[in-house]
Chains A and B, each alone.
Chain A
Amino acid sequence: MSVPAALGVVGLLSVPFVLALAVHPITRRLALRYPVRRLSESALIVVGSMLGTSIITGSLIVGDTIDRSIRASAYEQLGPIDEVVVASGLEARTELLRQAVGLDASATPDGVIDGVLSMTTTQVAVIGRRTQPRAQLIEVDFDEARSFGGDAGATGIEGDTPALGHAAITEDLAATTETAIGDTITVYVYGVPVDVEVDRILDRRGIAGYWPIDGRQQSYNVFVTPGSLAAGLVGITLPEAVEPPQVTLAVSNAGGVEDGADRTDEAITLIGDVVGTDPSPQAVKRDVIDQAATTADQLSQLYFTMGMFSVAAGVLLLINIFVMLADERRSQLGMLRALGMRRSSLVLGFATEGWLYALVSSVVGALLGIQLGRIIAWRADQALDADNDLYALDLTFAWEQSTVAQGFAIGFTIALVTIVLTSVRISRLNVIAAIRDLPAGSDSSRRSWTRVVGLISLVAGTAMSSWAVVARDSYGLAAGPMLAVTGIGLLVAPRFGVRPTVTWVSLFVIVWATMIVPVIGWLDITTEIPIFLLQGTTMCAAGVALLMVHHRALGRWLSERFGGSLPIRIGLAYPVAKAFRTALTLGMFAVVILTIIYLSFISLMFRQQVDGLTEDLGGGYEILVNSNPSAPISVAQLDAVDGVTAVAPVGYGFVETTFGDRVQMWPVTGFGPDLAATPPALRDRGAFDSDADAWSAVLNDPDLVIVDEFLLNTGGPVSDTPDIGDTVIIRDTTTGTTRELTVAALSTDDYLLAGSFVGVETYQALFGDRAVDSRFYVDAEDPDAVAADIGRTFAANGAESSTVYALVEAVLAQSTGLFTLMQQFVGVGLLVGIAGLGVVMIRSVRERRRDIGMLRAIGLEPRSVTRTFLFEATFVAAEGVLIGILIALVGTYGLVLNGTGFLAGFSWSVPWPDIIFVAALTMAAAALTAAIPSYRAGLIRPAQALRIVD
């Protein structure tokens, strides 16, 4: 949504209220009087309702930040590089250069392409003061590189081409090897040490920032003069089964660093026409940009959904505030109606006052949302800054004006709709009852309405359920039966009584909402994250309704036990009597606590997966070793390491993978009989009798593949998961070899970034002479010591050696870090609850001044008055917290009951420390918020309070 569109929505919605203020003097008086006269309360209302907008804006800004960060990688790191063509072997260079000439001919100002550049690369290990096992040696002419794409600054290349024996290195490599200009580093080229002097350190940008190693964001590049590799290789006999040097033809599209990506399709066609399919071009920049958009959308949606729980709390707060305002002004409103004011004018007056709050709170909320987004981005950057740079992502805080405008418009609209609906509801007062301050009672028209609403709910719920089954819609399946049963409840309540009806309907809703995620899993229906919003809010509503119909009994039971204490007795009586108000406050707390505790549950269950996942992912092996394909470790070398008991070599590379309508460069692992003998555990082995059978079948059948549920998902919620029998197409862009494979089984979640598993024959067919066993699953007696030993011993081979346990732990730490971050984000919603409680308590004190006066007159001590209000506030907060916790317990139990989706194989564990901490923090905050109004209640002078007329 653009800025003008967002402001247009707000402007359009504001027209009636602006007109009302301008034209209707009574509406103006009604709308302006209270906000102006009661500034502190107005401020609390604004604080309570602005948080919703802040949360919405903050969650959208998370999307901006992630989008901008990944795009920044594309724009800054790739710079002018839009496409690449990678060929294998130095002999390919001549052919590729010849083709480049054909491309260069079209590199005119009006053409699609404005530059081509050839580079020769190979993977190396670099040792300076410290070791960087996986780095890249790049031969390139610096003058050509600088002129590539027409923007020298964007290439990151500075100075002359280093002379032979000299090099320029990137800042990432300089940092990890602790190297400065003038230092000498040892570069292990094909296992042979070559000393070079570092002339320059280059920024991670453009050609200098080009990063093809296993999809890492960091650039560990050593730039040398063209021909160095050929010169260095003179006299060296390359061992068999090593990856030969790669020749990369980088292509820059016309239109600059950012806009050039828009011409990718044309460029790919043009390049394809010239170079053919063997090798074929890769749209590197557009792929990264597409990935940025998808990941940003997914994570933004996740935060948005989680944030909506807090927004729901904000909506409840607004309703509560307006119902309280109406209660307080009931007799005045009745009088105005008696004097001839129309109901619509009453609605307009109330709604205009609300419009003022909504406008101010949305503006402030949107601006605060930027800061909230900044904090989340900062914390997310910490959470994503994993030790292992394979999993790391640098986040740069960013926000768009349109995002803030959108957050403002959404927050404003939600607040205004809530306020208008509440205003309509509260304007339906009985004039006589309002003037005389009598209870409204229930009239026959209300009973008729209840019947009508019940009938509509029943019909709509039944229709929605039926449609959902046919259309396989998860939301309809979740909401339909709840709506239908609620309709039945409304119809039968007059006959069977409100309490039993609400009890049974609420229990049904809780049970159904608990079961809905497993049921959706059983029925194999695709769903999305918002289902949890539906699940959480309905469970909270049912939980609150259940408590409210039994609140009187609970209050009586507690009063009997603590009946001697007047603060407790009075503190219990008001929340029990003011059912609607209490229900809204309970709902505010319950919905936020539920979300926080829910996330705690999932986070804990993730943390507890380390042992199980290590066992599943490693199969019979404890260590994972990566080495440079250009100088791989051999099995014999690893076998010779002390403590190593078994080695399973695998090939590892990236291929263009197509699943459904998604195409992406994705890892592939080519395994042999060693891994198949004691393979990683499968999540779903389909029709095979055992996991080993499935692995064996894939090893022997070149048309089969094992993939995991997160295939081609790069973050955030999973969509379009693969099933057994689905087709996956993989293609090596260098050899052009393509294989259409059938999913034979689903692997355990891919925490080791193994990608798709294919048999060794398929792997060799794909990669040709680049099919090298550079990755190893190793079993050892003392995994930690042996992993460290391998890393040290084979540094020249670029060995990166970790225990599977450490790798799993690193990924889980990142996941749980993000969960914690999300908890903190949702925790902002607690402020809504706390602010709401503050508003409720302040208004309660005002509303009950006369009662306080009477109680003080007959002998209630000031401190007892304070205790009464404190008890009431903490009691309501405690009930809300308790509902949230209980529903989280039930909900998560239901979620792991069937073990579908991301909780497959998880066991139910209760995060007691988190629960206790969150509950204690909430209670303390609630008590603190209530302390001031409670203290002021204790200061009320009885004579003054009794003089108050209304």
Chain B
Amino acid sequence: MEALPILAADAVRKVYRTGANEVVALDDLHLRVAEGEFVAVMGPSGSGKTTLLNCLSGLDDIDSGAVWFDGRVLHEMSDLERTRQRASTMGFVFQAFNLIPVFDAAENVELPLLLAGRSPREARRRAIETLDRVGLGDRTQHRPMELSGGEQQRVAIARALASAPRLVWADEPTGALDTETAGTVMGLLRELHRDGLTLVLVTHDPDIGSSAQRLVRMVDGRISEDRTIGDGDGDRLAEERHAAIAMAGGAPADSAR
């Protein structure tokens, strides 16, 4: 029996308006994400990946359609309710890490716990545990500026995980990292998925996308492909990547996998 979706999007449409110009970022988008799934959303720049993440997580409004999260229609909630929904059920990992620069690693990870109403003592304990889990138990007192890019992203992942969310959104989590560090971060995400985490990952990198269970490909705001990744997909995605790099005039780098 197919698992119940934690997230469902039906006929979602999102249009950006700048003066007289309109750009359709999402068009008739349908998507189901089941609990425990690891979905990679791929596509070229401007295909609507990040808009999908923003709209389906409730960060942004939609023009039409509906998004259900955990059985509730997200965009029928007030902004405050959606905020609370995110605080209690979602985690986020961004390409630019988005850590609070004036907080140390532990304090950054404590944030969602405090938002969820945990006591400062409990938040600190859980934050240190989570940092330990991502391999940064010895860097809890370091500020973002004192950490490497990979370490910062691991802090961001720890922050996303700290409050045990039902679903984690990751927007180009390796986009600002070198290949080796990206590999480490992806390894961590895969491990977390194996432990039961539901993960929606947005990327333009076929190698990163191939880490997922399921691939959703987007073109011009629509889903052009939605399938489970099989054994042969690794090679095909690697070729895609090499072709993309060759078109850009560069040399293929090592795979992140």
Contact = CB atoms under 8 A, between A and B. Distances in A.
Interface stretch (B97-105, B190-198, B214-222, B240-248): B97-105
Interface stretch (A134-142, A348-356, A807-815, A938-946): A938-946
A573 B94 CA distance: 22
Interface string B124-147: 000000000000000000000100
Interface in B93-129: 94, 96, 98, 100-103, 107, 111-112, 114-116, 119-120
Contact of B100 (A573, A576, A861, A946): A573
A234 interface: no
A850 B60 contact: no
Interface stretch (B26-34, B68-76, B84-92, B179-187): B84-92
A236 to B, nearest CB: 92
A855 B83 contact: no
A861 B83 contact: yes
Nearest to B118: A564
A941 B83 contact: no
Interface string B228-248: 000000000000000000000
A402 to B, nearest CB: 50
B195 to A, nearest CB: 21
Given A577-B101, A577-B102, A942-B59, A859 B87 contact: yes
B159 interface: yes
Contact of A855 (B84, B88, B94, B111): B111
Nearest to A858: B112
Nearest to A864: B115
A205 interface: no
- Most chain B beta carbons < 10 A, residue from A576, A856, A943, A944: A943
Nearest to A939: B79
A569 B159 CA distance: 17
Given A439-B145, A942-B59, A946-B59, A859 B98 contact: no
B80 interface: yes
B26 to A, nearest CB: 12
A566 interface: yes
A563 interface: yes
Nearest to A562: B120
A859 B80 CA distance: 9
Given A854-B92, A942-B59, A943-B54, A859 B116 contact: yes
A407 interface: no
Contact of A860 (B94, B107, B115, B159): B115
Interface string A835-874: 0000000000000001101111111111000000000000
Contacts of A569: 107, 114
B102 A574 contact: yes
- Most chain B beta carbons < 10 A, residue from A850, A856, A859: A859
A577 B83 CA distance: 27
A438 interface: yes
B85 to A, nearest CB: 8
Interface of chain A: mostly helix, strand, loop or mixed = helix
B94 A862 contact: no
Given A566-B111, A566-B114, A566-B115, A859 B103 contact: no
B70 to A, nearest CB: 15
A855 B91 CA distance: 11
Contacts of B79: 862
B255 to A, nearest CB: 26
A854 B98 contact: yes
A570 interface: yes
A145 B83 CA distance: 90
A573 B103 contact: yes
A438 B98 CA distance: 15
Nearest to B54: A943
Contacts of A941: 59-60
Contact of A858 (B54, B86, B107): B86
Top 3 A-B residue pairs of the complex, sorted by shortest distance between their CB atoms: A859-B87, A577-B102, A943-B60
A855 B84 CA distance: 12
B159 A861 contact: no
Interface residues of A, number: 31
Interface in A918-950: 941-944, 946-947
Interface in A370-401: none
Contacts of A850: 96, 98
A573 B84 CA distance: 24
Contacts, number: 83
Contacts of B159: 858
Nearest to B103: A573
Contacts of B107: 569, 573
A861 B115 CA distance: 9
A576 B102 CA distance: 8
Interface in A343-370: none
- Most chain A beta carbons < 10 A, residue from B59, B80, B94, B159: B59
Q: How large is the interface on B (under 10, 10 to 19, 20 to 34, 35 or more residues)?
A: 20 to 34
Contacts of A862: 79-80, 83
Contact of B83 (A566, A853, A860): A860
A851 B100 contact: yes
B100 A858 contact: no
27 contacts: A438-B145, A564-B120, A573-B102, A573-B103, A577-B101, A851-B98, A853-B98, A854-B92, A854-B98, A854-B100, A855-B111, A856-B59, A857-B57, A857-B92, A858-B86, A858-B115, A859-B86, A859-B88, A859-B112, A859-B116, A861-B84, A941-B59, A941-B60, A942-B54, A943-B54, A943-B60, A944-B60
A368 B94 CA distance: 50
Interface string A23-54: 00000000000000000000000000000000
A941 B92 CA distance: 16
Nearest to B53: A943
Nearest to A438: B145
Contacts of B50: 947
Contact of B94 (A564, A854, A861): A854
Interface in B16-33: none
A564 B119 contact: yes
Interface string A558-600: 0010011010011001101110000000000000000000000
A853 B94 CA distance: 11
Contacts of B86: 857-859
- Most chain B beta carbons < 10 A, residue from A578, A850, A854, A855: A854
Given A566-B114, A577-B101, A858 B92 contact: yes
Nearest to B60: A943
- Most chain B beta carbons < 10 A, residue from A576, A941, A946: A946
A858 B59 contact: no
- Most chain B beta carbons < 10 A, residue from A560, A574, A857, A862: A857
A666 B252 CA distance: 99
Given A569-B114, A854-B98, A860-B83, 19 more contacts: A566-B111, A566-B114, A573-B100, A574-B102, A576-B102, A854-B92, A855-B100, A857-B86, A858-B91, A858-B112, A858-B115, A858-B159, A858-B160, A860-B115, A861-B84, A862-B83, A942-B60, A943-B54, A946-B94
B116 to A, nearest CB: 7
Contacts of B112: 858-859
A334 to B, nearest CB: 16
B245 to A, nearest CB: 23
A854 B57 CA distance: 13
Contacts of A855: 100, 111
Contacts of A560: 120
A862 B78 CA distance: 12
Interface string A531-567: 0000000000000000000000000000010011010
Contacts of B96: 850
A942 B80 CA distance: 12
A860 B87 CA distance: 7
B173 to A, nearest CB: 14
A943 B59 contact: yes
Contacts of B84: 859, 861
Contacts of B60: 941-944
